[in-house]
Amino acid sequence: MKTALIIPTLNEIDGMRSVVSKIKKEWVDEIIIVDGGSTDGTIEEAKKQDLKVVMQKTKGKHGAAIYDGFEYTDAEMLIMFGADGNNEPEEIPRMISKMNEGYDQVIVTRFGKTSINRDAGIIDGFGNKMFTFFANVLYGGHLTDTLSSSRAITRKAWNELKSDGFDTRLVLQMCIRGLIKKQKIIDIDGNEPERIGGERKMHRFSTGIEMISCLFRELRWKE
């Protein structure tokens, strides 16, 4: 099964350089950098490493970057991965192995029994657990981290979702619509190291509003 690794970037040269150097070529068939308009040399560094670079259609929006990356490739297995060092490259073969067991989505949870989270503070952790709790209650799931940006999905499952979450709510929407469609979704424990360089793009207040809106708006999609 052809596998593509999608890495959104926006001024993440230090993190991207560190992350990509640890990804073994035999793990995936292609690595696609989807850039939102970097000015720090991220694009040039990606090209120097012979990576495919796609310019993001909607600047600075994480969901749009993932969407553009998924649409660019014809791979049957799609993997989302961060360039900021918050995701461990060793998670990639673990996700692929689990996907090969027949799952539609595999999510690397930062809140599993063996997970170590060094980046999310008390407020971020509480918010994540709250949104995950309501997603499970409203849509019948048993997930532990609906906001994780490290995950894999099959092309077939992705097409079923008909996603329009072009902002930070994409990851939550993927979980909710996957649950509605009765997709086989599983969490695997992972860690979240401290980010490497760059600046955090998430704004707590606006992201919280987007997530709350998504939780209840998707009830209409369910109908």
CATH of the domain at 120: 3.90.550.10
The tally of CA atoms less than 13 A away on the side-chain side of residue 117 is 17
Q: Could you give the residue ranges of the DSSP H alpha helices within 7-61?
A: 13-21, 42-48
Percent of the chain with pLDDT over 70: 93
Higher pLDDT, 165 or 33: 33
Q: Write out the residue range of the structural domain in which residue 161 sits.
A: 3-222
The pLDDT of 128-132, averaged and rounded, is 92
State residue 77's pLDDT score: 98
Task: Look at 22-31, 33-42, 197-206 and tell me which has the smallest mean pLDDT.
Answer: 197-206
- 71-114 residue pLDDT tens: 999 999 999 999 988 889 999 999 999 999 999 999 999 998 89
Give the tens place of pLDDT for each residue, 44-75: 999 999 999 999 987 657 889 999 999 999 99
Specify the 3-state DSSP secondary structure of 7. strand
In this predicted structure, which of 13-22, 94-103, 158-167 has the lowest mean pLDDT? 158-167
C-beta of residue 45 within 8 angstroms of C-beta of residue 13 = yes
What pLDDT was estimated at residue 120? 67
Residue 157: other Cβ atoms inside 10 A: 21
Query: In what order do the strands lie in the sheet containing 30-35?
Result: 52-55, 30-35, 3-9, 77-80, 151-154, 105-109, 185-189
What is the overall mean pLDDT for the chain?
A: 90
Give the total number of structural domains in the chain. 1
